[in-house]
Structure 1
Amino acid sequence: MACDSSTCQSGCYRDDDSAAEDGQRRRENGGGSNCGSGGYGLCIKCKVNEAMATTDPAVAGGSGDGGRFCADCFRSNLFGKFRFAVTSNAMISPSDNVLVAFSGGSSSRVALQFVHEMQHKAQKNFDASRDRLLPVFGVGVAYIDERAIYPVASNDFDRSVNEMELITASLAPPKKQFFIVPIENLYSTDSAVGRQKLTELLDAVDDVTGKEDLVHYLQMQSLQKVAFENGYTKIMLGTCTYRIACHVLEATVKGQGFSLAADIQYVDARSRVPVVLPLRDCLSEELKMLCSLERLRTTEAFQQPRTGINGLIASFVRVLKDDNPSRESTIVRTAGKLTPFSFNRIPEDGDHSNQLASKRRQKKYNLKPNESLPPDSYCLICNSPLKKSPDTNSTISEHTCPSCQYQILPKDLRTLENFISLLPASLTAQVDNSYVNQKLLRDQIRDFLLSDSDDGT
């Protein structure tokens, strides 16, 4: 999203005193540049340094800022978007413990870098204060190991994981714990048992898109598990504008229109550990450019190509933004007008600063959350909110959304029961009156029922 002095929402123009003084000193000393010297013009923010040269149309034009700012102001503006998203949505409080989902790519790398800088500044303020009333929020890093699904050469895996550990260690102090979480640990700490069940579960899904979506849902469950077990109170994803634009179209094609608003907000608190998206308004090209400018180390060894409907949509959005770079932002802004759900904000926990930030944002953007949805009406598999709450005697299909029914659940009722039994307990535990739980209950009480021959006569 482009930023100038009249439309800036990140605060980067309201804290410009030092930049203005520096610019004045440069002018007095004959520094700076002009529009004719380098051919790129002056930075629209500091009006002193030359704007960056970029050949990427998605950054130079449309909603990108690479061709309008100098390197320093470009960086400041991008961090301003991140900081504004965090503060205006009350994503992080001093008492929080934030777990950053790290894949090694540019988006998660920038998210980790920016949250570290906020933590480092809070630590400096804490050390300099006399009363030390406000604690400093903690930061951890988690990588989901998917080798049980997507095999990777051991040398490549070890090299990339070692790179991630070095990146995490370089961002101390404060120290950040790094977790490597095998996705099969959703089932058991015994890797062999977990891998077998996971393989059987995925083999039971015939649809390519459904299988890829199911892997994504298991990833999120893995993050929830490691966050909850280690005392983290927020999960931070590096989801950027491009990824959200893709999800908007994917959800539309898959028939997930009712739940779409739940997935594209800054905050998603429907699970035990709330999920936050502070890079929602940042373009992927901007994030890649920042990594290049600041030489932030990334690793792409684990990036899996998207397939099925997801692959087609990803290619389509890339074509759209190549033709007109502002289109991905337009898709996200248009979808952002959908009514959010009650869980698309940080729960009120007595922290008045969080409550005020949430209320200010709702008033500013005229957001009116949907309060009518019961808190237990979620899809058994993808956790999407359901339009209709299942009743007590409902079947398993009524506990899933239409998309999961069509793309993931087996069509043969004889294999459906086995499929549900292969789901991790963290998913099936969400449904108290599910088909599976009813069957288990019947099996448990069958031994205690009297037969006709045991009536005592």
Structure 2
Amino acid sequence: MACNSTGGACGSDGGGGGCYKDNAGDENRKPSTNMITTCLKCKATQATVFTGGDGGGRFCPECFRSNLYGKFKLAVTSNALISPTDKILVAFSGGPSSRVALQFVSEMQLKAQNNFNATANRDRSLPVFGVGVAFIDESEINSVTSSNLDKAIEDIKAIVSTLPPPTKELHVVPIRNIFSTKTNDGKEMLKNLMSAVDDVTGKDDLLTHLRMLCLQKIAIENGYTKLVLGSCTSRIACHVLAATVKGQGYSLAADIQYADARWEVPVVLPLRDCPLQELNILCNLDSLKIVEIFNESRAGINGLISSFVKILQEENPSRECTIVRTAGKLTPFPFNRIPEVDVDDANMASQRRQKKFNLRPIESLPPESFCPICNSPMSCNSNLEPMREHFRAACCSSCQYQILPEEPSSMEEFYSFLPESLIARAKNGNQKWIREKIQDCLLLDDEDES
């Protein structure tokens, strides 16, 4: 509230009325304590939860929880992230973000189940989407004692078993499984690959890419149709700045949208609008158990950016939201939409999103080429098949600088350590681009070759 220091009408309302000075004459008088501590949402209960950021304010516990769940549900419904026919896999790391994501997805599934049970005519009811949970065991990379790992896995099993019905299947999979063959358990291959990367930022990024490959493998082998990540506003804000510093500006828009269908199993981010501070508060309020077995601290550029954003957030609680909102103005890629399904509500949400971002139909757009390592879209399509001699040229500039060795002999060795799934995906993606590129020059079966 601003007042005219020279006297006269209060500058805040333009007309003298409503200023707290008018009735008291004490310029230092503040609004009453009741006004300050009342919940902004219900305006009836004392506020005990205080948050920062764009959606910040003061809430009572019930309204705070309702507000946070509302952000999650709005993201899901507005962007058609989950449909009744889906089988959802929730990536669970044990931290507060993935814990809240699992809790909210479970609650949404329970409500869908209750609606299904309450429907008189079962034949006309929509099915209830399924939910599974995936935990990636990274003990080969992170130094963790076997006893601590066993205890963490038992805690995760207990968390999943206590979720409301329907029952959720838990997948505990070592990250080395992406290297596994009939004659090799993948442990040595994983160790060799990580050792071949000298740059600390490159190691951190490569681990992130391998984790995604492992989650995709779990989802594909078990018939899941969507992969839910617990990426929140705080994590995405760090990614925005880190990607910019590492030269990933072109592909940045691909990673920060609510949906990402460039993967075989589409990835969705329903907590995109939820800051980490609020997720931590909810875990404390609802006693949601956190299982932090692996070190979540980032290394190299990623670690520096995380520390920088933390300082910014302490100075101004809106900084993380501002970063994500600003980056959100970037135009999404065609694959940043969920493929249409037969459910009318999901189709309508998809059409609204397409209109909002002025996205053209996928058929009218040229195909993208993707980096074989990080799967980032590239600004120019490569016409080189990513075999050993051309693999570097097929990668994005960030992976070339941060991950790939410079010496040809070291590059040869690095290539030999890559998982077959990564190499196969790179070859298939490049061959698909070549086929689409020459499609106009191909003859159809019913055309005269003469």
1:270 paired residue number: 262
* Separation of aligned partners in 1, 2:380 and 2:235: 28
Q: What SS does the corresponding residue of 2:88 show, helix, strand or coil?
A: strand
Give 1:182 shift: 0.3
Equivalences for 1:209-224 in 2 at 5 Å? 209-224=201-216
* Separation of aligned partners in 2, 1:150 and 1:218: 14
Deviates more, 1:365-374 or 1:397-406: 365-374
* Separation of aligned partners in 2, 1:191 and 1:81: 47
* Separation of aligned partners in 1, 2:58 and 2:272: 21
Equivalences for 1:208-247 in 2 at 5 Å? 208-247=200-239
Q: 2:49·2:59 contact (CA, 8 Å) conserved in 1?
A: no
CA separation of 1:358 and 1:39: change in aligned 2, threshold 3 A: same
- Alignment deviations for residues 201-229 of structure 1 (CA, whole Å, 9 cap, x no partner): 11111111001100000000000000010
* Separation of aligned partners in 2, 1:216 and 1:79: 27
Q: 2:72·2:271 contact (CA, 8 Å) conserved in 1?
A: yes
Q: 2:407 aligns with which of 409, 412, 417?
A: 412
Q: What SS does the corresponding residue of 1:91 show, helix, strand or coil?
A: coil
TM-score (norm 1): 0.82
1:183 paired residue number: 175
2:352 paired residue number: 360
Equivalences for 1:33-432 in 2 at 5 Å? 36=32, 40-54=36-50, 59=51, 61-65=52-56, 67-132=57-122, 133-188=125-180, 193-363=185-355, 365-368=356-359, 374-375=366-367, 377-392=369-384, 395-432=390-427
Q: 1:239·1:277 contact (CA, 8 Å) conserved in 2?
A: yes
Q: What SS does the corresponding residue of 1:429 show, helix, strand or coil?
A: helix
Unpaired stretches in structure 1, ≥5 consecutive residues: 1-34, 436-457
* Separation of aligned partners in 1, 2:147 and 2:358: 49
* Separation of aligned partners in 2, 1:172 and 1:222: 27
* Separation of aligned partners in 1, 2:101 and 2:414: 36
* Separation of aligned partners in 1, 2:237 and 2:284: 24
* Separation of aligned partners in 1, 2:161 and 2:367: 39
Q: What SS does the corresponding residue of 1:150 show, helix, strand or coil?
A: coil
Give 1:130 shift: 2.1
Unpaired stretches in structure 2, ≥5 consecutive residues: 1-30, 431-450
* Separation of aligned partners in 2, 1:53 and 1:77: 12
Q: What is the RMSD of the two structures over their aligned residues, measured on CA atoms?
A: 2.1
* Separation of aligned partners in 2, 1:406 and 1:373: 30
Give 1:50 shift: 0.9
Read off the aligned partner of 1:292 and give its amino acid letter. N
Which runs of at least 4 in structure 1 moved beyond 6 Å after TM superposition? none
Q: What SS does the corresponding residue of 2:185 show, helix, strand or coil?
A: helix
Q: What SS does the corresponding residue of 1:292 show, helix, strand or coil?
A: helix
Give 1:434 shift: 9.9
Q: What SS does the corresponding residue of 2:89 show, helix, strand or coil?
A: strand
Q: 2:201·2:301 contact (CA, 8 Å) conserved in 1?
A: yes
Give 1:249 shift: 0.5
Q: 1:241·1:282 contact (CA, 8 Å) conserved in 2?
A: yes
